[in-house]
A and B are shown apart, each in its own frame.
Chain A
C-alpha cells in the first residue's frame, strides 16, 4: 500500500523567495512519484515526475524535486517564486502491480500563497 504526507496545508512565501513544498511517501514497492498543480476551478496538471532515473527531476515553470530514498522524501522547490505560482500543489505516488499499474494516491495538498 502507498501513502503520501504533505507537511503544511498552507505555505506562504514572498515573491522572489525560495519555494519549498514538502512531501514524504510510504510505499511497499519502489515508488513512482509525481507533483501536480491545480489552479482555481481547473483540473490537475503534471509538474514533474520521478521514475527511477535521475534523482533530481526538473519540471515545468522552473520547479524541481529531489528523490531521497533514505528520507522517503520528494520535496518540491523553486528558487524564486512568482505571483503566477499561487495554486494548490499535490504530491502523489503510484506503484507498479503484477498486472500493470495502480492509480495515483494523493497527499492532502498544499496551498501556495505568494505575497507581493
Chain B
C-alpha cells in the first residue's frame, strides 16, 4: 500500500500568495483529516471529512483557509492569502470508519511563508 501521499513536500512562498496542498488518502478509507503542526501549538486538527463530506471544520483558523474533497481519492487545503504565521507542517491523514481504527499520516507538507 502506498500510504497517504501529500504534495508538495516542501514549499516556500511569499506572503500574500495562494498555497494549495494536496492529499491522496489510502484507498478504501472513508475518513480524511488535515492537521497542522507548529512548535507553539503542537498538532491541531483543522478539518475532517467522512465520505467526502466535511464534518467538522471548527479547527480552521480563519476564512483564509479552505479545504475540499471532490472525490474519495483527493483532497486539497488552500490558504489564500498566505501569511508568515501560516508557516507550519501540514499533515493529511486517513482512516477506516470507526473510532478504534488507526489513523494513518502522510509525510507532511512543510510550508514556509516569507
Contact = CB atoms under 8 A, between A and B. Distances in A.
Given A90-B43, A103-B33, A106-B43, A43 B99 contact: no
Contacts of A97: 99
Interface in B28-73: 31, 33, 35, 42-43, 45, 48, 50, 55-56
Given A99-B55, A103-B33, A49 B107 contact: no
Contacts of B31: 100-101, 103
A106 B98 CA distance: 18
Interface in A75-116: 90, 94-97, 99-109
Contacts of A45: 105
- Which applies to chain A's interface (DSSP): helix, strand, loop or mixed? strand
A102 B48 contact: yes
Q: Which of A44, A99, A105 has the most CB of B within 10 A?
A: A44
Contacts, number: 64
B60 to A, nearest CB: 13
A26 interface: no
Interface string A6-45: 0000000000000000000000000010101000001111
A62 to B, nearest CB: 19
Nearest to B56: A102
Nearest to B3: A43
Interface of A: 32, 34, 36, 42-46, 49, 51-52, 90, 94-97, 99-109
11 contacts: A43-B108, A44-B105, A51-B100, A94-B99, A100-B31, A100-B97, A103-B35, A103-B103, A106-B42, A107-B42, A109-B42
Given A95-B99, A102-B55, 12 more contacts: A32-B100, A45-B105, A46-B102, A100-B99, A101-B31, A101-B98, A101-B99, A103-B31, A103-B35, A103-B48, A103-B103, A106-B42
